[in-house]
Amino acid sequence: MSTDHNDELMARAAKHAALADPTRLAIVDLLDLGDLTSTEVGRILGVPSNLLSHHLSVLEGEGMLSRSRSEADRRRNYLHLLRPTVDGIYVSRTRAVTRVVFVCTANSARSQIAAALWRRNSDIPAESAGTHPAVQIAAGANDTAARHGTPLASTRPRQLTDVLADTDFVVTVCDNAHEELADVGDLHWSVPDPIRVGTPEAFDAAYDELSQRVSDLAPHLVPLEPIG
Q: Residues near 84 by Cβ (< 8 Å), separated by ≥ 6?
A: none
Domain 3-86 has CATH 1.10.10.10: yes
Q: Do 3-86 and 95-223 agree at the fold level?
A: no
Report the SS3 class of residue 94. Answer: coil
pLDDT in tens, the chain (228 residues): 566 657 778 877 888 888 999 999 999 999 999 999 999 999 999 999 999 999 999 999 999 999 999 999 999 999 999 988 887 777 778 899 999 999 999 999 999 999 999 999 999 999 999 999 999 999 999 999 999 999 998 789 999 999 999 999 999 999 999 999 987 889 999 999 999 999 999 999 999 999 999 999 999 999 987 555
Show the beta-strand stretches assigned E in the chain. Answer: 36-37, 65-69, 77-81, 95-97, 100-104, 126-130, 169-172, 187-188, 221-223
What is the pLDDT, as a whole number, of residue 1?
54
Domain ranges of the chain: 3-86, 95-223
What is the pLDDT, as a whole number, of residue 15?
86
How far the first Cα of the chain sits from its last, in Å, is 59
CA quadruple 169, 173, 179, 184: dihedral, nearest 10? -10
Q: How far apart, in whole angstroms, are the C-alpha atoms of residue 24 and residue 194?
A: 33
The DSSP string of 35-66 is -EEHHHHHHHHT--HHHHHHHHHHHHHTT-EE
Please give the C-alpha separations between residue 98 and each of 124, 125, 144, 202, in angstroms, as whole numbers: 7, 7, 28, 32
Q: Are 178 and 185 in contact (CB under 8 A)?
A: yes
Q: How far apart, in whole angstroms, are the C-alpha atoms of residue 46 and residue 220?
A: 26
CATH T-level assignment (fold) for domain 95-223? Rossmann fold (3.40.50)
